[in-house]
Amino acid sequence: MSFTIFKRTAAVYLVIMCFVIFMGAYVTVTLGELSQINREVAEVDGLIIRTAERMQETLLSLLGFEKKYVITGDADFYWEFLKMVPLFREEIGRLSAAAGKGDALLIDNVKSRFEPYSRIPGGHQEAGRELEEREILVNEMNADIKKIIMRMRIERDRKVAISDRIAYRVVRVITVTAALTVVVGVLLSLAMTRSIVKPISLLKSKTKEIAKGSYQKVPLGPAPPEIRDLADDFNTMGEKLKEMDDLKRDFISHVSHELRTPLTSMKAASGMLSQGSFKGSPEKEKEILRIIQTECERLIGTVNRLLDLSRMEAKMMDYQFRNCDLAGVIRFAVLKLAPLAEKRNIRLEVDPFPNLGPVRMDPDRISQVIENLLGNALKFTPGKGRIAIEASLNGEPGFVRVSVCDTGIGIPQDRLEQIFDRFTRAHAEKGTSGTGLGLSIARHIVTDHGGKIWAESAPGKGSTFSFTLPLA
């Protein structure tokens, strides 16, 4: 299955987008994990460490107030001690809520030791006797709190290390993915560009060859469908150009003959007159002048046909449209060619015309079409043959159909369409005269009138040329 240029481009972008989406998804998930770790470090581990440090400070303050009370016996230190007991309990509560199961035993130990420690004896002498034991409790609680702080700092450092590794991994994955995206994108782009540029370069080189007159087909290899279609059209164009080149050469050959023949006749006739070859014979001189006039008219007719075809192809033909009687135009054309048919012993028949109605047309140009069809029929119909022309309304509604039938040599089926191309002659090999412009001009005239023209034939059985014109 061949991919179009659009599909190939879309595939390249899709591959690149897959890399980008993968990178974005990976970064999003990883950054979420990283954010979770940082949040735990900031909100949980940091809170536990700060709370434990405050507990140490509070515990040392309690011990300080107790010692001052024992030494001085000042009751204010006693009351200060009692005020700080609830603060320490609050800190223990915060620590219990924030800490995990790993610290639960240490926190329970602190709680169990703090409860007896928080009950200070009322008398300072009695408190002095228990001071040493109570100081041991404080040191044990302080040791447990240090363990909690130490463990949380280790845990915090471990999470920071994990966070650093994740960040490094993210940077590495982004770098590798970006590099792969660039490399794959460049490789795919180069491959796609090569698949487009290579056949186009081949077409470019073949264009130069065509400009030099070499009409060879483009040997196109694997390529996108658009380029393949372009190459097919290019090959078709080359074939058409070759056909046109062949037609041009054939046309130049025929036109040269068509122009050279009357010019040669006029040159010879005028030479004879200038030399006085028929000085004593006025009749001969008139005949020579008639020959010169006839050949001039023939030459002018050839040039006019070329000019008419050029104007028609350029859509610059000036038609004089008006509502006319088509039957009268047909009869007039038949009358003009009747002497030629009689001279060649060909029966020229005109079938009775129905009431055709007016047709909007240029009568001179339609007469030119009919005369051309009749002239071709006379040219290719042998003696004792038959040519019939008829007009009817039996065809397409709103159109009149005119047909010219002959019993001539016929036209091969594969040439029925080509004969309407310019410079094309159905039987050029038989040595008949003509430029191959008549039917092309006829098709342009009929088409410009809104009708159509076609041919039906079988070799050896004659031909029928028909055309239609819209009714007024």
Q: pLDDT of 275-303, one tens digit each?
A: 776 666 777 777 777 777 877 877 787 77
d(CA 435, CA 426): 11
For residues 220 and 401, which has the higher predicted lDDT (pLDDT)?
Answer: 401
- What is the pairing mode between strands 359-361 and 322-324? antiparallel
Q: Identify the pLDDT of residue 465.
A: 95
Least confident of 188-197, 271-280, 395-404: 271-280
When pLDDT is averaged across residues 199-228 and rounded to a whole number, the result is: 71
Q: Identify the pLDDT of residue 286.
A: 77
Query: Which phi and psi (to 5°) does residue 234 adopt?
Result: -65, -45
Cα–Cα distances in Å, from 62 out to 70, 88, 122, 130, 136? 12, 9, 15, 15, 13
- What is the pairing mode between strands 463-470 and 386-392? unpaired
Write down the domain spans for the chain. 5-188, 225-314, 322-470
Q: Are 238 and 217 in contact (CB under 8 A)?
A: yes
Least confident of 247-251, 304-308, 350-354: 247-251
Q: Which CATH architecture has domain 225-314?
A: Orthogonal Bundle (1.10)
Q: Which two structure tokens, joined as six digits, stand for 208? A: 């130069």
Q: Identify the pLDDT of residue 38.
A: 75
Q: Identify the pLDDT of residue 463.
A: 93
Residue 251: closest CA among 31, 85, 436? 436
Global pTM value: 0.49
**Which of 310-314, 326-330, 354-358, 394-398 has the highest mean predicted lDDT (pLDDT)?**
326-330
Q: Identify the pLDDT of residue 275.
A: 73
- What is the pairing mode between strands 463-470 and 322-324? unpaired
Q: Identify the pLDDT of residue 361.
A: 93
Q: Which two structure tokens, joined as six digits, stand for 183? A: 């490399």
d(CA 47, CA 186): 51
Give residues with Cβ within 8 angstroms of 409, minimum separation 6: 380, 381, 382, 427, 430, 459, 460
- What are 446-456's pLDDT values in tens digits? 999 999 999 99
For residues 8 and 350, which has the higher predicted lDDT (pLDDT)?
Answer: 350
Give the percent of the chain with pLDDT over 90.
16
Q: Mean pLDDT of all residues in the chain?
A: 81
Q: Which two structure tokens, joined as six digits, stand for 306? A: 């070329």
Tell me how many degrees the CA angle 67-70-73 measures, rounded to the nearest 5: 130
Cα–Cα distances in Å, from 12 out to 3, 213, 222, 414? 12, 40, 18, 48
**Domain 5-188, CATH number (from 1.20.1440.210, 3.40.309.10, 3.60.21.10, 3.40.50.20):** 1.20.1440.210
Q: Identify the pLDDT of residue 202.
A: 73
Tell me how many degrees the CA angle 196-198-204 measures, rounded to the nearest 5: 105
When pLDDT is averaged across residues 359-368 and rounded to a whole number, the result is: 93
Q: Indicate the helix (H) or strand (E) that contains 439.
A: helix 438-448
Instruction: Specify whether domain 322-470 bears CATH 3.30.70.120.
Output: no
CA 349 to chain centre: 59
- Identity of the residue numbered 80: E
For residues 405 and 72, which has the higher predicted lDDT (pLDDT)?
Answer: 405
